């Protein structure tokens, strides 16, 4: 008899056959007894939520702007927006919401301070050790750097949750052949839907762009038409919020419509057969084209905006200087990282230490690193 207090029964009743079911998990590296009422992916989600790397997302700006106001997204609020969009889609498609949420909450925890310029600086400084990738670093955090259990390092997440992040870290190789598990694909789609929409919102609020400039883009005109259809003519302050809402809603609606059609032939099939068939969620041709147009517009008009360039240059210089100081003086790193440097290249360890910092913590440690010549910097 079905007992809805049991997660396996709930999943059996609610999830599609091709969803990742908790009963099929490959377990954890360090075996643990199962929990009486939380499934393995719900536990993963909670472990990520309670990790210190997750809390530090609140101190990392999504698009690094220095001191330009307090309206715009941090990586934490971005992460919650991604989780919300991804969970909504997972529910409609009857995929595993717990796994989707775990992957969404984890997806950005490897980001260094100072937005994309932080990643660029670390990639450049770490060339001799293969560069830097925030997706790869997220795995180092959850498998090695988080300290929660006495008998092993890391969070000991389920293999499927780790594999989902691993796919993100090796996106280029994963682009052919077998497709990633559907829950991973949803998080990817939700990530780009959320950041396109909130970058529009943040850029409008900061005055980097105007609605008139954005109206050159087909997807913006589409969203504005829907807004006018629902609410008539509105003052600009209200229009911005509703535009962002419509941008998300129309992209989510489009992706879901396409996904429902793509999944139809797989009714009754399992996760592996959908993967082997190479099924990939994608937008309709029209929305796909309009999204690419929006993204290249945002890249030039926002990420390369002249007001942001000097702020980023200064942040990049601070990071690069700190990286050099620490590579030359490993004794300035906290104990945990000095120990890691005994068995790892110094460039990797300095990169890990810096990548884990928040924007403000990085600035404070930069001050100590260049102004005083002795004593280790603080651990995070
Ligand atoms: Mg993201």
Domain enclosing residue 346, as ranges: 311-371
- Residue 330 included in any domain: yes
Number of structural domains, the chain? Answer: 1
Position 172 scores a pLDDT of: 58
- Residue 118 included in any domain: no
Position 64 scores a pLDDT of: 67
Confidence class of residue 343 from pLDDT cuts 50, 70 and 90?
very high
On average, the pLDDT of the chain sits at 93
Q: How far is the CA of 31 from the centre of ligand 1 (A)?
A: 30
- Residue 158 included in any domain: no
- Residue 28 included in any domain: no
Residue 154 forms beta bridges with which residues? 147
Burial of 115 (0-12, 13-18, 19+ CB in 10 A): buried
Which of 300, 84, 114 lies closest to 190 in space, CA to CA? 84
- Tell me the per-residue pLDDT of 88-134, one tens digit each, with 9 for 90 and over: 999 999 999 999 999 999 999 999 999 889 999 999 999 999 999 99
Q: How far is the CA of 168 from the centre of ligand 1 (A)?
A: 11
Q: Contact at 8 Å (CB) between 1 and 33? A: no
Higher pLDDT, residue 148 or 48: 48
Indicate if the pLDDT at residue 66 is higher than 80: no
- Range name among 28-42, 64-78, 198-212, 258-272 with the lowest pLDDT average: 64-78
Position 5 scores a pLDDT of: 86
Q: How far is the CA of 231 from the centre of ligand 1 (A)?
A: 31
What spatial distance separates the first Cα and last Cα of the chain, rounded to whole Å?
A: 49
Q: How far is the CA of 111 from the centre of ligand 1 (A)?
A: 9
Higher pLDDT, residue 370 or 40: 40
Position 175 scores a pLDDT of: 62
Indicate if the pLDDT at residue 78 is higher than 90: yes
Strand, coil or helix: what is 258?
A: helix
Position 69 scores a pLDDT of: 67
- Tell me the per-residue pLDDT of 13-45, one tens digit each, with 9 for 90 and over: 999 999 999 999 999 999 999 998 999 999 999
d(CA 334, CA 367): 16
Q: How far is the CA of 321 from the centre of ligand 1 (A)?
A: 27
Average pLDDT of the residues in 246-275: 97
- Residue 327 included in any domain: yes
Strand, coil or helix: what is 64?
A: coil
- Residue 322 included in any domain: yes
Q: Contact at 8 Å (CB) between 39 and 11? A: yes
Average pLDDT of the residues in 362-373: 87
Confidence class of residue 176 from pLDDT cuts 50, 70 and 90?
low
Task: State the sign of the Cα–Cα–Cα–Cα dihedral 15, 18, 19, 22.
Answer: positive
d(CA 74, CA 81): 11
207: left (phi > 0), else alpha (psi -120 to 50), else beta?
left
Position 354 scores a pLDDT of: 97
Average pLDDT of the residues in 127-153: 95
Q: How far is the CA of 295 from the centre of ligand 1 (A)?
A: 14
- Range name among 115-119, 287-291, 303-307, 376-380 with the lowest pLDDT average: 303-307
- Range name among 147-161, 316-330, 365-379 with the lowest pLDDT average: 365-379
Angle between the 218-231 and 236-263 helix axes, to the nearest 10 degrees? 110
Q: How far is the CA of 266 from the centre of ligand 1 (A)?
A: 29
- Residue 347 included in any domain: yes
Task: Please tell me whether the overall predicted TM-score, pTM, comes out greater than 0.75 for this model.
Answer: yes
Strand, coil or helix: what is 215?
A: coil
- CA distances (Å), origin 78, targets 26, 190, 199, 245: 30, 11, 10, 15
Q: How far is the CA of 195 from the centre of ligand 1 (A)?
A: 7
Average pLDDT of the residues in 152-165: 95
Confidence class of residue 167 from pLDDT cuts 50, 70 and 90?
confident
Indicate if the pLDDT at residue 287 is higher than 80: yes
- Residue 364 included in any domain: yes
Position 174 scores a pLDDT of: 61
Q: How far is the CA of 377 from the centre of ligand 1 (A)?
A: 29
- CA distances (Å), origin 286, targets 253, 258, 293: 13, 12, 11
């Amino acid at each position: 008899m079905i007992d809805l207090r049991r997660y396996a029964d709930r999943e059996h009743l609610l999830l599609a056959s091709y969803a990742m079911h908790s009963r099929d998990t490959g377990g954890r590296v360090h075996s643990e007894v199962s929990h009486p009422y939380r499934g393995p992916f719900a536990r993963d989600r909670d472990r990520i939520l309670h990790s210190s790397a997750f809390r530090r997302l609140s101190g990392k700006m999504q698009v690094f702007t220095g001191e330009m106001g307090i309206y715009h997204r941090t990586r934490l609020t971005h992460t919650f927006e991604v989780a919300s969009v991804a969970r909504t889609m997972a529910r409609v498609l009857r995929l595993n919401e717990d796994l989707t949420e775990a992957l969404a909450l984890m997806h950005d925890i490897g980001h260094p301070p100072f937005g994309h310029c932080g990643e660029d600086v670390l990639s450049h400084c770490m060339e001799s050790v293969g560069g830097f990738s925030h997706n790869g670093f997220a795995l180092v955090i959850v498998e090695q750097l988080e300290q929660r259990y006495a008998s092993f390092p890391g969070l000991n997440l389920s293999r499927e949750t780790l594999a989902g992040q691993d796919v993100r870290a090796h996106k280029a190789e994963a682009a052919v052949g077998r497709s990633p598990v559907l829950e991973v694909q949803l998080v990817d789609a939700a990530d780009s839907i959320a950041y396109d929409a909130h970058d529009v919102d943040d850029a409008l609020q900061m005055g980097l762009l105007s609605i008139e400039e954005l109206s050159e883009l087909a997807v913006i005109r589409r969203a504005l038409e829907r807004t006018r259809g629902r609410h008539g003519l509105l003052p600009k302050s209200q229009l911005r919020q509703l535009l962002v809402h419509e941008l998300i809603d129309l992209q989510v609606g489009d992706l879901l419509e396409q996904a429902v059609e793509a999944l139809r032939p797989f009714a009754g099939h399992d996760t592996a057969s959908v993967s082997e068939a190479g099924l990939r969620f994608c937008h309709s041709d029209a929305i796909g084209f309009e999204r690419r147009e929006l993204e290249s517009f945002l890249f030039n008009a926002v990420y390369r905006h002249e007001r942001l360039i000097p702020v980023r240059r200064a942040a990049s210089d601070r990071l690069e200087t700190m990286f050099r100081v620490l590579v030359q003086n490993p004794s300035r790193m906290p104990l945990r990282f000095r120990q890691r440097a005994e068995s790892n290249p110094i460039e990797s360890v300095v990169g890990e230490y810096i990548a884990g910092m928040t924007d403000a913590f990085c600035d404070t440690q930069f001050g100590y690193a260049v102004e005083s010549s002795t004593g280790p910097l603080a651990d995070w």
